[in-house]
Every structure is written in C-alpha cells, then in structure tokens.
Amino acid sequence: MSGDERQLREQHAEAGGHDGQTRAAVVSLLVDEGPMTAGDIAERLGISPAGVRRHLEILSADGDIEVAPSGFSRAGPGKGTRGRPAKWFQLTPAGRGKLRHAYDDLAGAVLRKLRDVAGQQAVDEFAHERISDLVSGVEPARESGSVIATVQQIADALTAGGYSADTREVGAGVQICQHHCPVAHVASEFPELCEAETAMFTELLGTHVQRLATIANGDCVCTTHVPVHLTTPEAAQPAASDTPDGKVLR
C-alpha cells in the first residue's frame, strides 16, 4: 500500500469517527431534551442544518430515531408556529435500548436480591422512598393553591433527576412528559418504580392522575395525564344563603 493510499484511508477513518461522535451527540441531545427539530439540533451543536439532516437520515435508517406524532409541539397541540409545521425527532425504543449501561444490570440484581431477602414490601418501600427523595422540594397543590404550579414543580424536579420532563396543556388537563428515564431497563422488570411515581404524583396534586405511557413498556415518552378542573367565575361564587335578618349573602 502506497503512502498516499494509507493517508487517504486514515482520513476516511477519521471522518467516520467524527460522524459517529456527531450522531452520538445528536442522540445525547434527544435524551436530555426530548423531541427536537433539525434546526434546534443544528443550533445546539453548531453545525449546518444540512449536516444535521444527513445524520438524522442515518439515525432514522438505523431505527434509532423517528418523527414525533403529527402536530407535536413544545407549546402543545395546535400551538406551533405558522406555516409548514416543523418535524420533531425523537428516540425510538430501539434507539433508547442502545443506551443501556452496566449499572442497569447491577441495579436490577440488587432489587432482585432485596425482594428475595426482605420480600415484596421492601421493594415497594424502596420505590416509594426513591421518588419521595426526588420530589422532596415540591410543594403540594393544597399548599401552593395551584395544581398547575405543582405540576411544573414536579416536572422541574424530574428534569433535575435526569428525566428530561416538561408539561403540555391537553384539553381540560395537563400532561407531564418524561422524555428520558434513567431507570427504564430496571423499571421494565420492576414496575413498582413507575407505580410509586404515579402514586406520588396523585398525593402531591390531590387529584387522581392517569399514566398513559411509559418508556419502560416500550413507549417513547412517559406520559402522565393530570385533570385540571376549571371553574367559571359564576361557579366560583358561593351559593346564596339567607341570614337571620333576612338579607341574602353571596
């Protein structure tokens, strides 16, 4: 092999390695931020939109990413910008599965041992204590006076814990969307972790919440629906009552 041929191969190998690093950076962004547009990714990584689209095409062909459902927007359904809607890209379950780390196996083994030695109750208590610690700074809705405010606090606490969470207004409620789950592989074997989260959300919000999807079950996003009961000014008025002197109070 001539010196020129060797140099050319080295340049190709270096380019391939750089491309791999860029695609890893794209995946890392989608893990941390949730669905993003090609333009957002390009801006965050400091590369051209054309370059980002090339990497997105490769990741899509490999089955690692997909286009988010039609109408998706950070602002919620129907609240995007005018004109042609942008495509939002998100990780697929297969792409997320490639992020598995050795500590997932260790955590799973520890929980299995805990259940064998101390029983199912010990696992339930561990799951409850874990989510309690994660949201320890969240103000319950009965104290904040606002379900929406507490929902946002929950999302902020989850994000700080590595869950990349945000909220979306949907109909007469709001959804907590967790775009990443650092314990997804463990939770697939121990759904107690997800169940403890749902129970804690219900306790903090003072209303029954519904878990619509979980990454542990193969969905792309953990979605929890929180009903928000809106009252009209008239409904908020106390009912009329008669006083001893015959006057009517409202």
pLDDT tens across 139-175, in order?
999 999 999 999 999 999 999 998 989 999 988 899 9
CA 35, 38, 42: angle at the middle one, nearest 5? Answer: 115
Per DSSP, the three-state class of 233 is: helix
The answer to whether the Cα torsion of 217, 218, 222, 225 is positive or negative is negative
For residue 171, what are the CA distances in angstroms to 86, 133, 174, 205, 229?
22, 31, 8, 18, 11
- Tell me the pTM: 0.64
Domain limits, the chain: 16-71+87-99, 119-227
Does residue 165 contact residue 178 with C-beta atoms inside 8 Å? yes
pLDDT tens across 210-224, in order?
999 999 998 888 999
Does residue 122 contact residue 114 with C-beta atoms inside 8 Å? yes
Which of 1.10.230.10, 3.40.50.970, 1.10.357.10, 1.10.10.10 would CATH assign to domain 16-71+87-99?
1.10.10.10
Model confidence at 57, pLDDT cuts 50, 70, 90, reads very high
Per DSSP, the three-state class of 87 is: coil
Q: Which pLDDT does position 2 carry in this prediction?
A: 52
Is pLDDT at 90 greater than 80 in this prediction?
yes
For 46, which DSSP code?
A: T
How large is the average pLDDT for residues 9-36? 69
